[in-house]
Amino acid sequence: MDASIFQPLIEAPAERDYVPKSFGDLARTLPKVSLPELVAAGAVLVGAGHAMPCHPEATVQQVGNSCGRLNLHLLERARTRDDLNHLASPVIGGGVAVGRFQQLFLLARHGAFAQPADWARFTWRLLAEQGQLITKNDKVLETPDENLAELTMQANTFVRDQLPTLKALGIV
């Protein structure tokens, strides 16, 4: 794999908050890479699961509300279940892996909670009501403070690492 092609192609999606880019967009951003090289490299990245083809904007608009309703239903189920770990993206027309805690953070965000620390408290309250504790590094976190600290750390990591992608994929 030629780093002069793949490195800029891997970095390009982060521009403009991960908004999907067409091959035309990428060709303008990366003028030294030919369109055939972009297409070949794109195929490799899609095959490896590092990129995904996107629907046209009209399709995204057409299915966006349905995906939003489905996702809200799945987020509500995450209150008591951890067996559904994907949410629907109208942008790619498929599921995206999102763990239970992250789903609960999104549910809190959908409600009246604006900050990651609030999402962590919301999630901890649900878990505590169900008698559930978090396990970290094969150790059960016994105290409410330990559990809340871990959830707060996870919520902050989620905001930084996953939320921008979920926004770009139309999940949020």
Give how far Cα 137 sits from Cα of 103, 108, 134, Å.
21, 26, 10
State the pLDDT at residue 84: 93
Residue length, the chain? 172
Print pLDDT tens along the chain (172 aa). 778 888 888 787 777 777 888 888 888 888 888 888 888 988 998 898 888 889 989 999 999 999 999 999 999 999 999 999 999 999 999 999 999 999 999 999 999 899 999 999 999 999 999 999 999 999 999 999 999 999 999 999 999 999 999 999 999 9
Q: How far apart are CA 104 and CA 85, in angstroms?
A: 11
pTM metric for this prediction: 0.86
State the pLDDT at residue 105: 98
CA 19 to the chain's CA centroid: 13
Which DSSP letter does residue 12 get?
Answer: G
State the pLDDT at residue 166: 95
State the pLDDT at residue 15: 77
State the pLDDT at residue 45: 87
Return the HEC string of 19-53: CCCCHHHHHHHCCCCCHHHHHHHHHHHHHCCCCCC
Q: If 0-12 CB within 10 Å is exposed, 13-18 middle and 19+ buried, where does residue 35 land?
A: exposed
